[in-house]
Amino acid sequence: MNLIAQLPVLPIIIPIVAAPITLLLPKGRVPHLWACLFSWLTFAACIALFAEVSSTGPISYHLGDWAPPIGIEYYIDLANALVLLLVSGIAAVVFPYAYRSVQLEVDERQTPLFYGALLICMTGLLGVTITGDAFNVFVFLEISSLSGYALIAMGARRDRRALTAAFNYLVMGTIGATFFVIGLGLLYQATGTLNMADLADRLIGQDNRMVEAGFAFILVGMGLKLAMFPMHLWLPNAYTYAPSAVTAFMAATATKVAVYVIIRFIFSVFNFDFAFIGAAFTYVLLPLGLAGMFVASFVALFQEDVKRMLAYSSVAQIGYMLLGLSFATVEGLTATLVHIFNHALMKGALFMAVGCVVLRAGSHSIYAFAGLSKRMPVTTWAFLISGLSLIGVPLTVGFISKWYLLQAAFEAGHWYAGFLIVASSLIALAYVGRVAEVMLLREPAEDGKYAMPKEEAPLSMLIPMWVLVAANIYFGVRTDLTGGIAQRAAETLMSMAGGAP
């Protein structure tokens, strides 16, 4: 039993063992260092796993040596290896970033709880991604969600509205999870198995009401988790009132993992032989994706609160992902996978920049950003560069996403979609431009509520933030990493689902 053979389980084992121990540590610095260490170890394990998968192909790992379909199977191919890398990578930069931000925003007595919950949340997300067992997805989803509710509620020290936001999210998230598990139940009723690969085999030819209803419940349940328009209403408040580090982490990972689950179910469990898959693409994902792109962007345009603006922008960006998915082509799926990765980079960096402003100005209102370039130039530029990335300016990852998406739209013959993608990017230009104008051209407030010292955020926050900003540019230039991997992953998924290659 060597370590390499056990590699697939390490990304789960490492944090899940570390998390409870965090609770026992004394409050203050120690839990943070502990959690940091283990987030990095997890990241290292994920890198190793990714390298392994990309060189040797998909890995199937049997937990406790119980062979599937009886035992739980971890199944890792390129698609989820990429998402694993993303989740653990974002965690690896958010954990170091969190310390100063959490010091301000979270009660000190809660620090062991906070870092413990954040580790558990990460474990849950990694688990959802890595597992090849449908019920296991539900279990890990609940692990990540429950810790997520707690994390959001911890923002209550600064703003009591965090409590209602967390409560709403709790109710909605539970409805989503319940729908999901109802869907699984129906599928289990139809097939008698919960292993994804086994499900896929036994579902063949089973085009009956039970399977159809099961699909509907799974799609809507996951749609709620990923904040598909119009089920996004829990998201803006949750992201706005959560502590900055939590927002940065969840915005970059949680919804992405839910998108991944939808992809996994559509392509690896169901397949294109089911007529409802095509119908769901055409009548659900495509129109809702487009609606989300515009409605949420317009809402973002008028927000007075930068964090809230970015939250709505996330809903819009999820619209892009659903749009790419709905084309049901390799190009479309590639675009979605690329955008999952890229959007995490830009939103992570943007929310981190907001966190830096909150640290110094004590507010994430747009008025707190007035003249920021004179007070916090390093943070300002991080925000600007990631903002450009969000718009889709060349040399940033945002451009790569838009490019793949446009290609996919043209390929699928959806001309109008190509036009709408560009149009909604222009709205993004407007809402990012609004903040940029305030940051660069307005004079900073000299006194009153939003006055702030001329002091940059501490290095412990700046360095992780700039790592993400640099990633925005690096992956904007080196596209073979994201684009190439995503394309290979998309081809594999597509061949699983029996669609045109």
Partner 1 sequence: MTAFFEALLANPAVILTVGAFVIFFLPRHLACAWCLLVTAFSAIKLYTLGLGEYGALHVFGEQLTTVRVDPLSRIFAVVFHIAIVLNVIYAWGQRDKAQNFAMLAYPAACLGGVLAGDLITLFFWWEMAAITSVFLVWAPGTRVTYLAGMRYLAIQILSGVLLLGGVALTYRETGSFAFDMMGLRDADGAVKISALVMFLAFGIKSAFPLLHNWVQDAYPKSTLTGAIILSIFTTKLAVYSLARAFPGTNELIYIGVVMTLFPIFFALIENDLRKVLCYSINNQVGFMVCAIGLGTINGAAGYAFGNIIFEGLLFMALGAAMHRTGTSKATELGGLYKTMPVTMALCIVGALSISAFPGTLGFVTKGLIIDGAGEAHLFWVWLGLLFASAGVLEHAGIKIPYFTFFAHDSGQRPKDAPLPMMIAMGIAAALCLGLGIYPDPLYALLPDQAAIADYHPYTAYHLIEQLQLLLWAVLAFAILILVKWYPAEVPSTNLDTDWFYRVPGRALMSWAAGASRATWIALWGIFSGRVQALMARVYSVHGPEGEMARSWPIGFMALWTAILLALVLVISFIA
Nearer to partner 1 (CB atom), residue 83 or residue 211: 211
- Six token digits for residue 250: 């969840």
Task: Map tokens 């139940």 to a residue.
Answer: 185
Nearer to partner 1, 40 or 276 (CB): 276
Amino acid at 275: A
Q: Which residues pair with 76 in a beta bridge?
A: 59
175 vs 385: CA distance, rounded Å:
38
Q: Which residue has the tokens 């080196």?
A: 478
- Nearer Cβ to partner 1, position 301 or 378? 301
Residue 200 or 299 with smaller CB distance to partner 1: 299
Chain length of the chain: 501
Could you identify the residue written with the tokens 């120690």? 30
What is the closest distance, in whole angstroms, from the C-beta atom of residue 82 to partner 1 in the complex? 17
At closest approach, how far in Å is the CB of 17 from partner 1? Answer: 36
The CB-of-14 to partner 1 minimum distance in angstroms stands at 31
In sequence order, which residues have a C-beta less than 8 Å from that of residue 180 and are 6 or more positions away?
Answer: 137, 138, 141, 217, 218, 221, 222, 225
d(CA 385, CA 389): 6
Cβ-based nearer residue to partner 1, 38 or 341: 341
Whole-angstrom distance, CA of residue 501 vs CA of residue 491: 6
Check: CB of residue 361 under 8 Å from CB of residue 445. Answer: no
Query: 23 or 275: whose CB is closer to partner 1?
Result: 275
Q: Which is nearer to partner 1, 235 or 457 (CB)?
A: 235
Q: How far is the CB of 322 from partner 1 (least distance, A)?
A: 13
Q: Which two tokens stand for residue 21?
A: 């121990």
CB nearer to partner 1: pick between 181 and 245: 181
Binding site for partner 1 (CB under 8 A): 168, 171-172, 175-176, 179, 209, 212-213, 215-217, 219-220, 223-224, 230-231, 233-234, 236-237, 275-276, 278-280, 283-284, 295-296, 298-299, 301-304, 312, 393-395, 403, 406-407, 410-411, 418, 422, 477-480, 483-484
Tally of CA atoms within 13 A in the half-sphere of 363 that contains its CB: 14
CA distance 258 to 413: 27
Burial of residue 468 (CB within 10 Å: 0-12, 13-18, 19+) is buried
Q: Are strands 73-76 and 59-62 parallel, antiparallel or unpaired?
A: antiparallel
* Closest separation in Å from C-beta 128 to partner 1: 20
Question: E-assigned strands of 245-305?
Answer: none
- What residue has token string 């129109």? 287
Q: What is the DSSP letter of 285?
A: I
For the bound state, the minimum distance from the C-beta of residue 220 to partner 1, rounded and expressed in Å, comes to: 5
> Which residue's CB is nearer to partner 1, number 177 or number 359?
177
CB of 480 to partner 1, least distance (A): 7
Minimum Å gap between C-beta 419 and partner 1 is 8
Q: Residue 131 or residue 487: which is nearer to partner 1 going by CB?
A: 487
The nearest distance, CB 38 to partner 1, in angstroms, is 30
CB of 298 to partner 1, least distance (A): 4
Instruction: Give dist(CA 42, CA 129) in Å, integer.
Output: 14
